[in-house]
Amino acid sequence: MMRRWLAPWVLACVATLGLAQEARAGGFEVPDMGARALGRGAANVVGVEDGTAIHYNPGSLAKMRGTTVMYNHGLMWQHTQFSRATLSEAWGDDAGTSFDPVSAENNLFPILGTLVVTSDFGLDNWTFAAGVYGPNGFGKQSYPSYGPQAFMMTDLDVLLAYYTVGAAWKWKDVFGIGAVVQYADLMKLDYAVLSDSVVTTGLSPVADPESTQLVTSIELKDRTSATAQIGAWYRPHQRLELGFSSRFVPVYFRPKGGVSVDKETLVTEEIKVEMDLTLPVIVRGGLRYIHDTGTRQWFDVELDAVYESWSMLKSFDLDVQGQLNGQELQELSLAKNWKDTVSVRLGGDVHPLPPYLTLRTGAFFETAAAPKNFSSIDFPSFRRFGVGGGFTAGAKGAYLTVGYMHVFQEGRTVSEEFGKVFGQRPLRPCPDNCDGLSGVVGNAGAFKTGYDLLTIGIDLRFRELLAGRRAKKEAAKPQPAAASQPAKHGA
């Protein structure tokens, strides 16, 4: 007969097979994953109390006793609008052409999922975990194929999951350390952009389906990468706790695949493509104040800082082999020139009715990864500020958590002279074949972006769930008869 502590782990393995097909993400992650973390303004490195510890701080897994199952499901609304600038006089007959603003055709992304199971297996100081999740980002975008934004991007579809196992150890309630290893599965990376198949010189600054332009769709995948994280916490005082964690191994992908175009007669042989893609090192640290009177915990406040090394990704360089319109294709390069980012996060919980109700709120600020002149609609990582709130309610081992966050991003306006996102010409690249010009400036215009995130989570804590049943069993056991007392003399 299967042991009771095995049942949640079997459940997790079965559910993981289905969840992995939904763990989507898109390039830059929006802070951050998990219903509880959203409500705290993503300040969750030190005070993480659920299965999302495999992402925020593996060392905190050791605080979780018994066996738990956590499932979070998120919704993300993306608000992105691009208004392309009126063409300047440099474009001759096309000068003065203006464009209507364009927005993504699908601004709701409904399948951000996280599933984690933890158990101490009856051990006093150890906790083990297994789970799967996708980074918190907008994984599917679609814009008009020949819209004014088409020189930056027309479609994006990314499917990425981290399959995770780990363990943590603690010394009393003073110190803990843990680690996780992660299998990174890039199941899909589809990216489409408008390019020009012209074999002569000259540039066309207006997207036109009747011209030599065509939508080029790049379809890649790499299912064989890995990474690892470590984390630790230290509580030197009843009211003070420190935490640290790091994804110290970058995620190296070498996705491969093919290329298709919307004008198939121009493809004279199969086109193959591959590229290098590296996701960054991440370092998190935080300080948490816990207002604990000895009889109960009233509230906590946490201040975190997060560093991500996005500067290692300067461009998407694609090695292309094949022919288009009878001509050998050149390598493609989508310049990014990203910068490292730093995020500051402040948030906490209040416990008005412990353990039945917890309220929380918080906020964060994050610097931009994309320089202004490299702004693009595909991964609009601009300067951000987010405000969140939420609650946890429940009893006897079953808890519902709801977290909401609105993310504001700076508005940006890029001029033709300043813009650095150019239209692609895989047969006759610029500037050699473009009269000395660098190409059509695809990101000249105004950007308005922002996000709304809502995540709902269910936590099952089996030690609490089974406590009542165990108490009933103990009460139902026959009690030993009381020993008879000898009669007192002289009665």
pLDDT in the model for residue 139: 76
Structure token digits, residue 13:
């393995």
pTM of the shown model: 0.89
The Cα-based distances of 304 to 56, 245, 363, 400 in angstroms read 11, 11, 11, 25
User: Mind listing the pLDDT tens digit for each residue in 145-155?
Assistant: 999 999 999 99
Residue 434 has pLDDT above 60, yes or no: yes
Residue 40 lies in a domain: yes
Peptide bond into 426 cis (omega under 30): no
Q: What is the mean pLDDT of the chain?
A: 88
pLDDT in the model for residue 453: 94
pLDDT in the model for residue 234: 98
3-state secondary structure 158-171: EEEEEEEEEEEEEE
Closest CA to 376 of 449, 274, 277, 280: 449
Q: Which residues have a Cβ under 8 Å from the Cβ of 225 and sit 6 or more positions away?
A: 183, 184, 185, 186, 251, 252, 253
Residue 29 lies in a domain: yes
Structural domain count, the chain: 1
Task: Determine contact, residues 100/88, Cβ cutoff 8 Å.
Answer: no
User: Mind listing the pLDDT tens digit for each residue in 49-73?
Assistant: 999 999 999 999 999 999 999 999 9
Specify burial of residue 220 (Cβ count, 10 A radius: 0-12, 13-18, 19+). Answer: buried
Concatenating the DSSP letter of every residue in 459-486 gives EEEHHHHTHHHHHHHHHHSPPPPPPPPP
Residue 413 lies in a domain: yes
Specify burial of residue 310 (Cβ count, 10 A radius: 0-12, 13-18, 19+). Answer: buried
- Pairing state between β 277-279 and 251-253: antiparallel
Residue 268 lies in a domain: yes
3-state SS class at 47: coil
424: confidence class by pLDDT, cuts 50, 70, 90: confident
Task: Determine contact, residues 53/40, Cβ cutoff 8 Å.
Answer: no
pLDDT in the model for residue 310: 93
Residue 491 lies in a domain: no
Residue 480 lies in a domain: no
Structure token digits, residue 173:
């309630």
pLDDT in the model for residue 109: 81
Specify burial of residue 482 (Cβ count, 10 A radius: 0-12, 13-18, 19+). Answer: exposed
3: confidence class by pLDDT, cuts 50, 70, 90: very low
Residue 264 has pLDDT above 90, yes or no: no
d(CA 173, CA 176): 8
Count how many residues are written for the chain: 491
81: confidence class by pLDDT, cuts 50, 70, 90: very high
pLDDT in the model for residue 28: 59
pLDDT in the model for residue 15: 41
19 sits in which H/E element: helix 7-19
- Pairing state between β 126-133 and 315-321: unpaired
The Cα-based distances of 49 to 68, 241, 341 in angstroms read 11, 13, 26
User: Mind listing the pLDDT tens digit for each residue in 453-488?
Assistant: 999 999 999 999 998 666 667 666 676 655 555 544
Task: Determine contact, residues 26/140, Cβ cutoff 8 Å.
Answer: yes
- The neighbour count for residue 409, using CB atoms within 10 Å, is 22
Residue 486 lies in a domain: no
* 228-232, 312-316, 371-375, 398-402, range with the lowest pLDDT: 312-316
CATH number at residue 276: 2.40.160.60
* 104-113, 115-124, 313-322, 400-409, range with the lowest pLDDT: 104-113
Closest CA to 42 of 244, 306, 233: 306
Backbone angles phi, psi at 307, to 5 degrees: -115, 135
Concatenating the DSSP letter of every residue in 306-353 gives EEE-GGG--EEEEEEESEETTEEPPPEEEE-----EEEEEEEEEEEEE
d(CA 42, CA 305): 10
User: Mind listing the pLDDT tens digit for each residue in 183-207?
Assistant: 999 999 999 999 988 766 678 899 9
91: confidence class by pLDDT, cuts 50, 70, 90: very high
pLDDT in the model for residue 13: 44
pLDDT in the model for residue 481: 58
pLDDT in the model for residue 138: 66
Please give the share of the chain, as a percent, with pLDDT higher than 70.
88
pLDDT in the model for residue 105: 85
3-state SS class at 21: helix
Residue 485 lies in a domain: no
Residue 174 has pLDDT above 80, yes or no: yes
14: confidence class by pLDDT, cuts 50, 70, 90: very low
Does residue 111 or residue 167 have the better pLDDT? 167
d(CA 130, CA 144): 41
Domain limits for position 233: 4-471
